[in-house]
Homo-oligomer: A and B are copies of this chain.
Amino acid sequence: MKSAIILLSGGLDSATTLYYAKQKGFKTFCLIFDYNQRHKKEIEHAKRIARISKSGFQVIKIRLPWKGSSLLDKKIPLPVNRTMIPDEIPSTYVPARNIIFLSFAASYAESIGAGAIFIGANAIDYSGYPDCRPQFYRAYQAMVNKGMKAGVEGRTIKIYTPLIRKAKAQIIQLGLKLKAPLDLTWSCYGGGAKPCGRCDSCVLRERGFMEARGKRSEVR
C-alpha cells in the first residue's frame, strides 16, 4: 500500500484533503504543527481527526523567535470582517509557513518511503497568502526533486494540492461526500473557546457552508 504524508491543521480543507488521500488508496500519515499559533485549539482537533481517520500522526513543535504575524503575536490585532482583496496579504500571514511545513513533510516522506505529500492549500476562497498559490507548489515540487535523495534516485515525492482551485463550498461538498468528519474541524484564528465569527477563517467557513447547503448548517 502506497503511503502519503498529509499536512493536517485541523480545519476543513486539510480534513477533506486527508479523506481525499484515503479514498485514493493511500496509507495516511498526518503531520500536525504546534507553532505557537494563536489558535492552538486546532491542534487537538487535528489529533482527533487523525485518530478517527485511523491515520498515523506526528506533532512537530516549532518556535519561531521572530515576530510580525498576528497569528503568532496576540499583541497584533487580528483582522476582522475584512473584505478580502486578491493579492492583499493580511497580517495573519506567517513568513514561509507552508515552506517550513512542507520541508518537514518532505523529510518525513523520505524517511518512511512515502511518495506523496498532500496539502489542502486553496487559492480561491483564501486569505491571499503567496504560499497557497499553484505557482508556488510547482516551484516547490521542482525544488524537492533536486534536493532530496529520492529525486536524485529517480523516485519522486509528489506534492498533491487537490483543493487548489476549488471554492470553499465545493470543498465542503467534497468533504461531506467523502464522509470527512467536518464536525470535528476547527477554523477560527481567534484563539477563543468558541469561533469568533469575524476573522477571515470564520468568514470563509461560514460563507462556504451557506453556499454549500443554501442555508446555515448545523455542521460548522
Residue positions of A touching B, CB distance < 8 A = 58, 60-68, 87, 89, 93-100, 102-104, 106-112, 130-131, 133, 135-136, 138-140, 142-149, 151-152
14 A-B contacts, Cβ less than 8 Å apart? A93-B149, A94-B107, A95-B110, A96-B107, A96-B144, A99-B106, A99-B143, A100-B107, A130-B147, A130-B149, A130-B151, A130-B152, A136-B146, A138-B146
Interface secondary structure of A, over-half rule: helix
Task: Evaluate contact between B146 and A135: CB separation under 8 angstroms.
Answer: yes
Task: Evaluate contact between A111 and B147: CB separation under 8 angstroms.
Answer: no
How many angstroms from the CA of A151 to the CA of B106 in the assembled complex?
Answer: 23
Number of copies: 2
Task: Evaluate contact between B106 and A96: CB separation under 8 angstroms.
Answer: yes
With A66-B111, A99-B106, A111-B68 known as contacts, the answer to whether A139 contacts B136 (CB < 8 A) is no
How many angstroms from the CA of A103 to the CA of B143 in the assembled complex?
Answer: 12
Query: Which among B107, B133, B143 is the interface contact of A139 at CB below 8 angstroms?
Result: B143
How many angstroms from the CA of A131 to the CA of B145 in the assembled complex?
Answer: 10
In the complex, what residue of chain B is closest to A64 when comparing beta carbons?
B107
Query: Which among B61, B98, B103 is the interface contact of A63 at CB below 8 angstroms?
Result: B61
How many angstroms from the CA of A100 to the CA of B62 in the assembled complex?
Answer: 12
How many angstroms from the CA of A70 to the CA of B125 in the assembled complex?
Answer: 44
How many angstroms from the CA of A148 to the CA of B67 in the assembled complex?
Answer: 16
How many angstroms from the CA of A135 to the CA of B143 in the assembled complex?
Answer: 9
Q: For A65, what are the chain B residues with a Cβ–Cβ distance below 8 Å?
A: 58, 60
How many angstroms from the CA of A106 to the CA of B139 in the assembled complex?
Answer: 15
Q: For A89, what are the chain B residues with a Cβ–Cβ distance below 8 Å?
A: 149, 152
